[in-house]
Amino acid sequence: MCKGLALLPTTCLERAKELKAKLGSFLQKPDWSLASCKIGKTRPTLEQCMRWKESFEKLLSNKHGLMAFTAFLVSEFSEENIAFYVACEDFRSTKSAAKLAVKAQRIYDEFICTDAPREVSLQVNIDHETRDITRANLKDPSTSCFDMAQHRIYLLMAKDCYPRFLRSPAYKDLISQLRAKCTSISKKA
């Protein structure tokens, strides 16, 4: 291990490894396609992909949509936004008060803290006021302590990343691939 990594707190290294494992397949495939949207044995349908255009919420609520959007953000080197959003969603479902405090600190250290090492940190772009409020919320963590920061990142993705995703060649190619697949199936029938 290089000296720089050896000096990082163990929790940062563990979180980096965890994130790399979750996003590993995307990191290897910046040109994502229908094959990279596969979950288990299932792939998105044309109808699902067309619904993603209806709203950002529909995209995120579909497991294939979330995977495709994440792959897109990785290809644009802005995966910290969706990683933070997903971490907050997971955090919100935490029941144990003891786990809540530990998870809250980990999320803060990785995504919000400005003092975190740059080699590991996936710092999200939020304003100073939101950062301060979130830091204050950590004194008495609750499932809503990241709500303001998560909302800011959600709006950023909805207004900026989501429209670019819908205009991207990769999304358009995905739709074309699925249309072609539907056409070939209907011709065989």
Of the pLDDT bands very low, low, confident and very high (cuts 50, 70, 90), residue 186 is low
Measured in degrees and rounded to the nearest 5, phi and psi for residue 38 equal -70, 135
Select the more confidently predicted residue: 106 or 184: 106
Mean pLDDT of the chain: 82
Most confident segment among 67-71, 96-100, 150-154, 168-172:
150-154
Specify the 3-state DSSP secondary structure of 47: helix
Q: Whole-model pTM? A: 0.75
77 phi-psi bin (left φ>0, alpha ψ -120 to 50, beta other) = left
**Is the pLDDT score of 13 beyond 60?**
no
Report pLDDT digits (tens) over 39-57.
556 788 999 999 999 999 9
**Is the pLDDT score of 8 beyond 60?**
no
Alpha helices in 62-168 (DSSP H): 63-75, 79-92, 97-107, 128-137, 147-156, 162-167
* Bridge partners (DSSP) listed for residue 132: none
Q: Exposed (0-12), middle (13-18) or buried (19+): which is 53, by Cβ within 10 Å?
A: middle
Predicted pLDDT at 27: 41
Q: Is the dihedral of CA 60, 66, 68, 69 positive or negative?
A: positive
Chain centre distance of CA 21: 13
Predicted pLDDT at 184: 66
Report pLDDT digits (tens) over 72-103.
999 888 899 999 999 999 999 998 888 999 99
